[in-house]
Chain A
């Protein structure tokens, strides 16, 4: 019989996640939801795509995460002329002991935390170089596959307004990201705090919040969070409801979605839900955890109809409709309440 996490184990996992939360919140003021989702994604060992206007702190957040995790961190500024070899690394001819041979020189992907800044500015060819790294956690150069250091996270940012000279990420690429998070703006109170506590915009100095061992411990606890069958069924129904041909799909989905989410989306939601449950101090996933992570995990995986886009329908609206229409539990008859 499967054993559920004990209360101490849950508390320990929650404590470790809270350390990450605190560190991120110290860097990025007034963005607790964003920080929580990032922490959840990291604990679920998923990649995150942050989309927002310049100056909202996306890069600072990623840099802070890299520091707090105490792992190797690399930043790659994606530009149109960036080549795949520039990020994966390549073989270089070296002379060693009088002999010339190709030696693999790892690129910036060979780090635990990789910041892909403005990822949509690079060419599709370079973007595709990330596919294997993100999914397989390995890089193949000249027929040789090189494993990436674990854990491996890609935290990418993109700017939604400067479309000239950009290359929108293909669906396959987007599907690799666990979350796509829209970074919201901040209000005046938060900006006041920023003005007072930041000089020249520099974040506070921080040490690593977790050691490598603690991070592994955290991952183990997240993996041990129990996903009940009823909740898994709910996730499956949510994902299935994004199918425009599905009988149970909401009308907005039937009319607005071109391609539905893949099973990878269901897996992503399940993994993220486990981390969300631990963050909430639960040894098991609840329906509320699923509802919390569904929007960032599902919205970027839907391909919206052009007609719907023209009508102003966004993917997140469709996901919201799915969340509204699909009940977590089969409703009770009207006769009882």
Chain B
């Protein structure tokens, strides 16, 4: 595989940051979705 030049390295870094932000966004999305869907039932679960 060829060495990446400076511009390609910069784009790879930007892509990696974008992927990290998307993953963090997904964590928030699934967490809030779960809370909203459970609603009041979250307090009624068997302990």
Q: Do A and B come from one complex?
A: no
Q: Which residues of A contact B (CB under 8 A)?
A: none
Q: Which residues of B contact A (CB under 8 A)?
A: none
